[in-house]
Amino acid sequence: MYKRVLVVFLAIMSVVTLLASPGTAQADPAENGPGLETTAEAAVLMEPNTGQVIFSKQPDKELPMASVTKIMTMLLIVEAVDDGKLKLSDRITASENAWSMGGSQIYLEPGEEMSLEEMLISIAVGSANDACVAVAEHLAGSEEAFVQMMNKRAKELGLKHTHFANTNGLPVENHYTSAHDMAMILREALKHPLFVKVSSTYRYDIRGGDFVLWNTNKLLKWYDGTIAGKTGWTNEAKYCLASAVERDGLRLIAVVLGTPEPRSHFRESIKLYNYGFAQYQAVNLETKGARVGTVRVGKGTEQQLDVVTADPVSLVVLRGHDKGFSKKIVLPQYIEAPINKGDIVGRYVVTKDGKEAMRVNLIANKTIPKASILQQMYRVIDEIYKLN
């Protein structure tokens, strides 16, 4: 009997020791954020260059997001401007449908005109529901068609927990996102300088200064390094915020959905940022568009091509773990024309301890057409002449 009790006791102690061992069942701080809690119903802290999630709470839970919706609306607008489909000087005329929007608005009258720039800033700064509809109708022909564009773009971004039913986030059925999906939308928007510019505007005057807009994202004043963001609130969604902050070369995105009381979306976002900047640092090796090499070009109008990075070569690591990274530029010695600007011609590989940590495409910085037969003949003759 004594031996049986002793065996059971030793077995129990072995299990306890195993569970207490520091080498087992340890949470990865890069994924779970030990000691970090938030009252948000769902939250994500992300590094946008790589998409690495530093902290998450129910990241895929589908929730209403109120006016945070407008980040996708603005993304489609700035993409249209960058693609040349719209100009900031374009005149937008408000319809009766736009005029009928409630909630946050700039009180557009049917038939009233404003420039696209004024409308876009009114969306970013004043969270104007009527401006969202006016621009959507101008770009897509109707709000419904624009919403289809929003959902199509969400699918292109690989989002599985997002569906839009309107352009502005006013309460409606079948309109939801997740904290992770919204972080991905903001990540895409941050690639556009125009989005960052309007999103970081704190005050804007319209109608000749008769109407003043103040940005609803108070982090622009309360938290150093804030570069973008959009707030949201409805009874259904509670308080929501998707924002971005950059300090010491490290850019972070925080999304909080469903925080309970006024200003709690700011408080909870700051909590996430404080954790992120205290625990992590950036290893910035190259900026986007940095020239890192050249390639000889055959049968082209030019004989040499500069190669640049397609994206920033930047990693986020735990503080104190920023040493020991190696880089390798992988390029062909020779490439034949024609070459289009943006064509992938190589890769930039970052390794640490023999393992690949990051890979970024290297692309052509210009278009080089194929040379004509006559041009190629002249080049051969010129090279023969030089040899003699």
By annotation, the residues acting in catalysis are: 67, 70, 127
Q: Which residues, other chains included, contact 253 with Cβ-Cβ below 8 Å and sequence gap of 6+?
A: 44, 45, 46, 47, 48, 183, 186, 187, 190, 242, 243, 244
Q: Provide the strand spans (E) within 86-155.
A: 91-93, 113-115
Residue 146, both tokens: 């624009």
Half-sphere exposure of residue 5, counting CA atoms within 13 Å on the CB side? 2
Closest residue by Cα to residue 361 from 375, 374, 349, 353: 349
Residue 176, both tokens: 């939801």
- Say if residues 126 and 213 touch (Cβ distance below 8 Å): yes
Local structure of residue 16 (DSSP, 8 states): H
Kindly report the number of other CB atoms within 10 A of residue 379's CB atom.
Answer: 15
Beta-sheet pairing, 52-57 with 42-47: antiparallel
The three-state secondary structure class of 213 is strand
Residue 97, both tokens: 């449908």
Closest residue by Cα to residue 133 from 162, 167, 83: 167
φ/ψ of residue 195, rounded to 5 = -60, -45
Q: Per-residue b/e over 213-230, b at no fewer than 16 CB within 10 Å?
A: bebbbbbbeebeebbbbb
Q: Per-residue b/e over 291-327, b at no fewer than 16 CB within 10 Å?
A: ebeebebebbbeeebebbbbbbbbbbbeeeeeeebee
Residue 4, both tokens: 């049986």
